[in-house]
Chain A
Amino acid sequence: MKRIYSVLVENRSGVLCKVAGLFSRRCFNIDSLAVGETDDPNTSCMTIVSSGDQRTIEQIEKQLNKKLDVIKVKTFDEPSAISRELMLLKVKYNKNTRRDIMENCDIMGATIVDMSKTHMIIQMCDTPERTSLFIKMLTGVSIIEVARTGCLALQKCSEEG
């Protein structure tokens, strides 16, 4: 079972390490982890996607709450979240594949943000499922590098409360 944790933490040095360390020490999975400052420079928001059985999922929340650098933990399922991931892809192209790549980009809403005579960089911002799907669609193309931010998520407005 996948679970998203939106964790508000004190923006101090070492906090990322403490939170990530908690996951490894207690053998919890991290599917992805993204972190950035919030509107308040003293706090950061970590979005952690994890998975496990019901007990593990509850333990993760409790153990996160126990950390003295953690201000607040919100947790929700994928359907009740708006989640996005930014992906940059560097691919090699030639005249045979160029058309195909561009069509895929069109269909999936990805944009080409840089190119040379042999390579291009594609940017895509979408749900983690769709970014993964896009990579699958490019199987015929030689992918040089992939960089993904990991999932960012907020609970849907309708679920709040």
Chain B
Amino acid sequence: MTGADVMVKCLIEEGVKEIYGYPGVAIAPFYEAVRASGKIHSTLVRTEQSAAHAASGYTRVRKDIPGVCAVTSGPGATNLITGIATAFADSIPLVCITGQVKSELMGGDVFQEADITGACESFVKYSYLVRDVDEIPRIFKEAFHVANTGRKGPVLIDVPIDMQQAEVKRFSYPDEINMRTYKPTVKGNMVQINKVIKELEKAKKPLIYAGGGVLLSNAGDKLEEFAIKHNIPVVSTMMGIGVLPTDHPLYFGMVGNNGKAYANRAVAECDVIMVVGARVADRAVNQPELITKDKVMIHIDVDPAEIGKNAGPSIPLVGDAYYIFDDLLVKEYDADYSEWIDTLCEYKKRFATKFNDNPKYVDAPLFIKKLTAAMKDDSIYVADVGQNQMWSCGYARVKDGQFLTTGGMGTMGYSIPAAMGAKMAAPEKQVVAVCGDGSFQMSMCEFATIRQNNVPVKVVCFNNGYLGLVRQFQHYNYADNYSVVDLSGNPDLEKLAQAYDMPFIRVTNMDEVDEAIEKFLKDDNRYLMECMLDPLANC
């Protein structure tokens, strides 16, 4: 038995069935052990960054175990970095395995050597460099635990090739984890919880502001129960979309620069704001000092360092949202917020979207509304980055399914590989990726992976011939002086779909939309749809 066999046995112990990666010499012993075990399916992506995104999509749908990716040393590892950084910004649990050159050659700038633990230090939750083959079981056990507990995130394990090749006498996987430096607080402090209830009791206009942390701790249902129990309105951040069905009477949309005016209005006017699993980041809350100014801010987060980082709360409450809502739900109090809800409903009506009915093009907001209305209730919608993302956040209907995107890092090219991972995690669910022509081209190589593994994901590409969100920024901030945003040179997507043996449909105006959506969604097959947008449409 070799170190590589031990690595595979560790993955099996953790219940890993699917890994994404790209082999090379420095990780070859591991991939040989994967093959020999016959127990783990490995997907060959077409560029390493996609391996991390695919693993991200996979784990966000599976929810129980971290996504796993494995790539070779040097360029393989550095190509993975953007994917790792994306997972870190979005708190997605990944275990990333990289091959490394021989231990004795490390530091010598040999072929395909990169100091990957050093390079990734600021965006991994933790990293390991294997220096002793006997340490592998402990390291893997810890890595999976660290990635998937507390504030989740990516963990990197760098394994020199000689460690993978080294002989090991016996394998034993530790039952317990003994890390004196890592014990995340999950249960909330009762004194603080009582304070929260007291504030809500006094409040006239309370608001729950839910972030991605709620979804990561599977606390969506509990949050909904709590909101309904006390009739408290809810807004979400981009990562929090889906905490409540988007058509829920208590849901008032996404906040922020690109959010709904009525959601921002709710944040501005509430008297108690309960921020749960959110960072209070710049795009969501423009001026953090304002959300503490004339209101009581309750900040619930599993990561103590998030509390007080961007805004100083009146009531900090450290813990996992799942357990905290459990504790909050047993507390009883009486309050009537119906007037406040009425006000918010009034705002929602007043700021209702007016759809663009230019007959010459597809109107993205209306298209997304129609598409998601036709999608199954438990489907998974994966939004990329750019205007498509803003439109998706604004108009996608999310019911019992999931809305996946990268809100923290905003990495273009996320949607196609993430949708592939999501579909592999839940083959019975409908999975649709929506991207722009810019983000599409960052990941279109994955069509080969999708074809090879026969993963029936559906992809919508908005074509406006521009890097739309940047063009829009230049429109507003640089007096229409467009610089380096022209995408003419785009491939013919019909031919591209043919090349990948994929059904294709192009939609050029709103009249064609309904029929196209029906065709697109009818069968559980991979499908590419191109929507021709007004090149100058803004979101």
Binding site for B on A (CB under 8 A): 10, 14, 17-18, 21-22, 25, 55, 58-59, 62-63, 65-71
A10-B309 Cα distance, complex, nearest whole Å: 26
Q: Is the CB of B304 within 8 A of A68?
A: no
Select B304's contact among A18, A22, A62, beta carbons within 8 Å: A62
When C-beta atoms are compared, the residue in chain B nearest to A60 turns out to be: B305
Binding site for A on B (CB under 8 A): 117-118, 121-122, 125-126, 129, 146, 179-182, 303-305, 308-309, 312
Q: Is the CB of B304 within 8 A of A17?
A: no
List 10 A-B pairs, minimum CB-CB distance, nearest first: A62-B305, A68-B126, A25-B122, A66-B305, A68-B182, A71-B181, A21-B121, A68-B181, A63-B305, A62-B304
Q: Is the CB of A59 within 8 A of B122?
A: no
Q: Is the CB of B308 within 8 A of A68?
A: no
Q: Write 19 A-B pairs (CB below 8 A) sorted by A numbering.
A: A14-B118, A14-B129, A17-B121, A22-B122, A25-B122, A55-B308, A58-B308, A59-B305, A59-B308, A62-B305, A63-B305, A65-B304, A66-B305, A68-B126, A68-B146, A68-B181, A69-B181, A70-B181, A71-B181
Q: Using Cβ atoms and an 8 Å threshold, which residues of chain B touch A18?
A: 121
Q: Is the CB of A68 within 8 A of B309?
A: no
Q: Using Cβ atoms and an 8 Å threshold, which residues of chain B touch A22?
A: 122
When C-beta atoms are compared, the residue in chain A nearest to B146 turns out to be: A68
Measured CB to CB, the closest approach of chain B to A60, in angstroms, equals 10
Q: Is the CB of A66 within 8 A of B303?
A: yes
Q: Is the CB of A55 within 8 A of B312?
A: yes
Q: Using Cβ atoms and an 8 Å threshold, which residues of chain B touch A55?
A: 308, 312
When C-beta atoms are compared, the residue in chain B nearest to A67 turns out to be: B181
Q: Using Cβ atoms and an 8 Å threshold, which residues of chain A touch B129?
A: 14
- Given contact pairs A55-B308, A66-B303, A14 touches B117 in the complex (Cβ within 8 A): yes
Q: Is the CB of B305 within 8 A of A65?
A: yes
Measured CB to CB, the closest approach of chain B to A32, in angstroms, equals 22
Measured CB to CB, the closest approach of chain B to A10, in angstroms, equals 7
Q: Using Cβ atoms and an 8 Å threshold, which residues of chain B touch A10?
A: 181
Measured CB to CB, the closest approach of chain A to B84, in angstroms, equals 15
A59-B304 Cα distance, complex, nearest whole Å: 10
Measured CB to CB, the closest approach of chain A to B126, in angstroms, equals 5
Q: Using Cβ atoms and an 8 Å threshold, which residues of chain B touch A58?
A: 308
Measured CB to CB, the closest approach of chain A to B163, in angstroms, equals 15
Knowing that A17-B121, A69-B181 are A-B contacts, what are 5 other residue pairs whose CB atoms are under 8 Å apart, sorted by A's residue number?
A25-B122, A62-B308, A65-B304, A68-B126, A71-B181
Measured CB to CB, the closest approach of chain B to A25, in angstroms, equals 5
When C-beta atoms are compared, the residue in chain B nearest to A64 turns out to be: B305
When C-beta atoms are compared, the residue in chain A nearest to B155 turns out to be: A68
Q: Using Cβ atoms and an 8 Å threshold, which residues of chain A touch B305?
A: 59, 62-63, 65-66
A22-B312 Cα distance, complex, nearest whole Å: 22
Give the residue among B121, B122, B181, B309 with the most A Cβ atoms within 10 A.
B181
Q: Using Cβ atoms and an 8 Å threshold, which residues of chain A touch B122?
A: 21-22, 25
Q: Using Cβ atoms and an 8 Å threshold, which residues of chain B touch A67?
A: 181
When C-beta atoms are compared, the residue in chain A nearest to B303 turns out to be: A66
When C-beta atoms are compared, the residue in chain B nearest to A69 turns out to be: B181
Measured CB to CB, the closest approach of chain B to A38, in angstroms, equals 14
A60-B117 Cα distance, complex, nearest whole Å: 22
Q: Is the CB of B181 within 8 A of A17?
A: no
Q: Using Cβ atoms and an 8 Å threshold, which residues of chain A touch B126?
A: 68
Measured CB to CB, the closest approach of chain A to B253, in angstroms, equals 30
Q: Using Cβ atoms and an 8 Å threshold, which residues of chain A touch B308?
A: 55, 58-59, 62
